[in-house]
Amino acid sequence: MKIVNGRFFLDGKFWTGMEVRFDTSRILEIGKNLDDPEVIDAKGQDVYAGIIDAHVHGGWGRSLVAIENTDRFGDMEEQVRYLIKRFPSTGVTTFYPTINADWSSYETLGRIARAIRNVRKEKVFGADPLKLHYECAFLTLDRYVDQCREWMAPANQKDSDIMVDYDYSDVGIISLAPETEGALDYIDYIVSKGVMPEIGYDKATAEQVIEAADHGLCQATHLFNGYQPMHHRESNANAAVLYDDRIKAQLTMDGVHVSPIWVKLTIKIKGIDNVYGMTDFSANAGLPEGWHDFGNGMRFETRDGFNYHENGHLAGGSNAMNDMMRRARNIIGLSREEVGSLFTESPAKCLNLYDRGKIEIGRKSDFVIMDENYNVKCTIIDGKICYKEGDTYAD
């Protein structure tokens, strides 16, 4: 099969006059007048590599975070299946199930991991839940510690093993506060397991974060959100992430979570290859305006497309991937080329994924076709159409 008549996004630019041929596994050929009788006509629209979302908690009432809303949406495995099937409608072909919040113990996190792994084994056709992302696994920032003070521990091997259900083979990222006792030893431990350590929800100085980077800390969960406020006389994690390009920065680019000027400044300081977009899409996203009650006791209001806790704080990400890309252009003021880089090629670079995330011979045959306003027209996964405009999902 081949895609023709598209504006193909490759190496930070849009290219016309080319075709891409692929099978049900890999991209086979890029060129002109390629020989293949099966054709997908992009009709002059934008063609991106399938999008990787490394930070996503759920959506449309379904959760990857905790066992909740089972009376409305089925058990957790059923909710995971639904999300795998629906994420392609937003352009996402690979995601990192992101586990945090509303926990009762590290054993609970292990049960969540088992549920996601059980569904992965079924090979449901849809977005690939490639690696687990444990956000807030070991934190110190007071506002968040209060939610789980009774059982939360500093970063350590014993609790970590329980949390991942004694299996690190599909764990991609674990966040921690690097200033706690034993944190550097813990970073060494998870790096040896192939896991990327992540900064966030901490009270570390910049110097402590940079020392952690010396041990392999290389990710920053949604920079500026879940961090101590910056002050020019104080050293903290935000400054360290901006300074040290070994640490790749996630950014929530919806124009609300982070001011547009801070997004642009981060890109200018770190370079576009060291920053990437994600959604932080949560179970309470994609729901109608008004107040909502969740089975875990959480109550929040959806207002003007964003979700707010009763205390007024933002409640996670509220925009699906293609909506986030649209807002990055329209609200943040980024160019289409910058949006393409930050949301399609940069995630693969920052996560060291070389088998997907770029239109390149040998990479996975995952693509998304969008119009100029980021409406998803077609999503292709493993060389087969997984979503086309107009497909619906029953709740």
Q: What is the pLDDT of residues 64-78, one digit of tens each?
A: 876 656 777 888 899
pLDDT tens per residue, range 144-161: 766 655 667 889 999 999
Task: State what percent of residues in the chain have pLDDT above 90.
Answer: 77
Task: Give the pLDDT score at 66.
Answer: 65
**What is the average pLDDT across 320-346?**
97
Comparing 2-47+363-388 with 50-350, is the CATH topology the same?
A: no
pLDDT tens per residue, range 215-249: 999 999 999 998 999 999 999 999 999 999 999 99
Domain at 50-350, CATH from 3.40.640.10, 3.40.50.300, 2.30.33.40, 3.20.20.140: 3.20.20.140
- pLDDT level of residue 354 (50, 70, 90 thresholds): very high
pLDDT at 96 over 80: yes
pLDDT at 141 over 90: no
Task: Give the pLDDT score at 293.
Answer: 75
Task: Give the pLDDT score at 94.
Answer: 98
Task: Give the pLDDT score at 317.
Answer: 77
| Exposure letters 364-392 (e unless 16+ CB within 10 A, then b) | bbbbbbbeeebebbbbbbbbeebbeeeee
pTM: 0.94
Strands 62-63 vs 92-99: parallel, antiparallel or unpaired: unpaired
**Which tokens belong to 302?**
């959806």
| Class of domain 2-47+363-388 (CATH, top level) | mainly beta
DSSP structure class, residue 88: G
Helix axis angle for 76-86 and 106-122, nearest 10°, is 50
Instruction: Please give the backbone phi and psi of residue 97, each rounded to the nearest 5 degrees, phi first.
Output: -55, 120
Own/partner pairs for 209-215, CB < 8 Å, 24+ apart?
209/178, 209/237, 209/240, 209/241, 209/244, 209/247, 210/240, 210/243, 210/244, 211/178, 211/184, 212/178, 212/183, 212/184, 212/187, 213/240, 213/244, 213/246, 213/247, 215/184, 215/187, 215/188, 215/191
Domain range list for the chain: 2-47+363-388, 50-350
Task: Give the pLDDT score at 69.
Answer: 63
Task: Give the pLDDT score at 149.
Answer: 57
Task: State what percent of residues in the chain have pLDDT above 70.
Answer: 94
